[in-house]
Amino acid sequence: MLVTNGQTPALKVAVFSAQPYDKSFLNQINRDHFQSVNVEFFYHISPLSKETVPLAAGCNAVCVFVNDCVDESILGLLSEQGTRGVFLRCAGFNNVDLKAAEKLGMFVACVPAYSPEAVAEFAVALMLTLKTHRAYIRVREGNFNLNSLLGFNMHGKTVGIVGVGRIGLAVARILKGFGCHLLAYDPYRVEEFQALGSYTELDDLLQQSDIVTLHCPLIDSTKHLINLDSLKFLKRGAMLINTSRGGIIDTNAVIDALKSGQIGALGLDVYVKEAGLFFIDHSFDIIQDDVFQRLITFPNVLVTGHQAFLTEEALTEIAETTFQNFQNFVDGTECTNALVGGGATTAK
Ligand code: NAD
């Protein structure tokens, strides 16, 4: 579908993995910003891949999300088609080969800082829901028996936060209000956290925490940070929450730890093989991913489909920042959200 703001477009953007809410927020911002940057959108529900890359032909830019493939070969094909800008509607950029983009002289920008509270509140919601989700199902079935529903207080519990950036800090502020003791592991320390809790090494954090929540990016040093070896340090029966990226945990090791009781409860908003599974209605399909299917059979596991970002406030900020990035690209002005080519690249 083609959507313009009524003026001659300076920028033609192929928007991949475009859900109805993406269209609605981007169209609204396009109408609001028509005097500053003229954008023509071509929306595609399908993710960016080798098969769908021709859909971007004739567009100066693509706008992508967490599961679009923006590897070296896709970037090469985009570049051959004359597409020079890659705009992520998200903070994480593990799906983009930045080195390849740089070599090709492309411009890549993301939305680094939209509403960290959206994701932080969702992470805390997973913690609390793991105390209540079975009661919800029982009551719907007319079963008001409380046996086996014994919970625990958040107050006084130790929560280990892995990655204390924007989201990790927002989680820390919320949990401080619950009366939790806070530990953090992050190679880069910030003063703001020192007032809320203490930094420690990962092994200590895993040994001491009743709840561990992951808020680091997926990079080489964090891939499978939670694995067979690190799980041995985890306090027996601890709760693990991952709203960051699926690849930070070794899913098979986590399944073993659930079977042995080493992990007492698991809340996931992300899954390593979520591409092709999440954001799509598969309710009439036979899901072929046996690891995922095993994961959701556990009564103490809660999985949501990468939706922590999905709030009114976050989507507004994502659309606004994406437009700011478009403007910098078109004008050739410095882009503070650029990952590659943020200074002098222009769309012309
Ligand atoms: P951020 O860049 O502000 O913070 C990340 C923190 O992780 C930084 O403090 C960094 O020093 C730390 N870090 C880096 N390497 C580390 C390591 N090896 N061990 C521990 N910590 C390490 O990012 P943010 O805005 O807080 O977002 C964090 C992540 O959340 C993103 O990378 C993204 O993957 C994920 N996210 C998920 C959703 C969702 O909808 N589920 C939405 C937004 C972001």
Task: Write down the H helix ranges in 93-189.
Answer: 98-103, 116-140, 166-178
- For the question of residue 334 being annotated catalytic, the response is no
- The CA distance from 325 to 257, in Å, is 43
Q: Which pLDDT does position 326 carry in this prediction?
A: 95
pTM over 0.90: yes
Q: Rounded to the nearest whole angstrom, what is the distance from the C-alpha of residue 269 to the centroid of ligand 1?
A: 14
Contact predicate 302/132, CB 8 Å: no
Annotated catalytic residue within 245, 312, 317, 320: 245
Instruction: Locate 64 and state its tokens.
Output: 């992508």
Ligand 1 mean position to 234 CA, how many Å?
21
Question: Which of 186, 222, 241, 303 best tests ligand 1's pocket when mutated (most atoms within 8 Å of CB)?
Answer: 186
Q: Whose CA is nearest to atom 4 of ligand 1?
A: 165
Contacts of 249 (CB under 8 A, 6+ apart): 214, 224, 225, 226, 227, 240, 242, 272
Nearest of 123, 317, 90, 277 to residue 212 by alpha carbon: 123
Ligand 1 centroid vs 140 CA: distance in angstroms? 37
- Residue 216 C-alpha to ligand 1 middle, in angstroms? 3
Token duo for residue 272: 């390593």
For residue 113, what pLDDT is reported?
86
pLDDT of residue 347: 41
The pLDDT score that the predictor gives to residue 343 is: 67
Instruction: Quote the CA–CA distance of 166 and 215 in Å, as a whole number.
Output: 9
Instruction: Ligand 1: list residues with CB < 6 Å.
Output: 91-92, 116, 119, 162-168, 185-188, 215-218, 221-222, 243-245, 269-270, 306, 308-309
- For ligand 1, atom 14: residue with the closest CA: 216
Counting from 1 in the atom list of ligand 1, the atom nearest the Cα of 215 is 28
Amino acid at position 101, single letter: A
| One pLDDT digit (tens) per residue for the chain, 348 residues | 444 555 656 899 999 999 999 999 999 998 887 667 889 999 999 999 999 999 999 999 999 999 999 999 999 999 999 999 999 999 889 999 999 999 999 999 999 989 999 999 999 999 999 999 999 999 999 999 999 999 999 999 999 999 999 999 999 999 999 999 999 999 999 999 999 999 999 999 999 999 999 999 999 999 999 999 999 999 999 999 999 999 999 999 999 999 999 999 999 999 999 999 999 999 999 999 999 999 999 999 999 999 999 999 999 999 999 999 999 999 999 999 999 997 644 443
**Whole-angstrom Cα distance, residue 168 to residue 117?**
9
Could you give the domains of the chain?
2-114+311-340 (3.40.50.720), 116-303 (3.40.50.720)
Rounded distance, CA 210 to CA 235, Å? 7
| Residue ranges with strand state E in the chain | 2-4, 11-15, 39-43, 61-64, 85-88, 107-109, 158-162, 181-185, 198-199, 211-214, 238-242, 263-268, 301-303, 338-340
Distance 280 CA to ligand 1 centre (A): 25
Q: Looking up tokens 């992300």, which residue turns up?
A: 270
Per-residue model confidence (pLDDT) at position 345? 43
Q: How far apart are the first and last CA of the chain?
A: 24
**Residue 79: what pLDDT?**
97
> Quick one: pLDDT at residue 10?
82
Active site annotation includes 191: no
Tell which one of 167, 171, 245, 318 to mutate to probe ligand 1, the residue whose CB is within 8 A of the most ligand atoms.
167
Catalytic annotation, pick one of 274, 313, 320, 334: 274
pLDDT of residue 32: 86
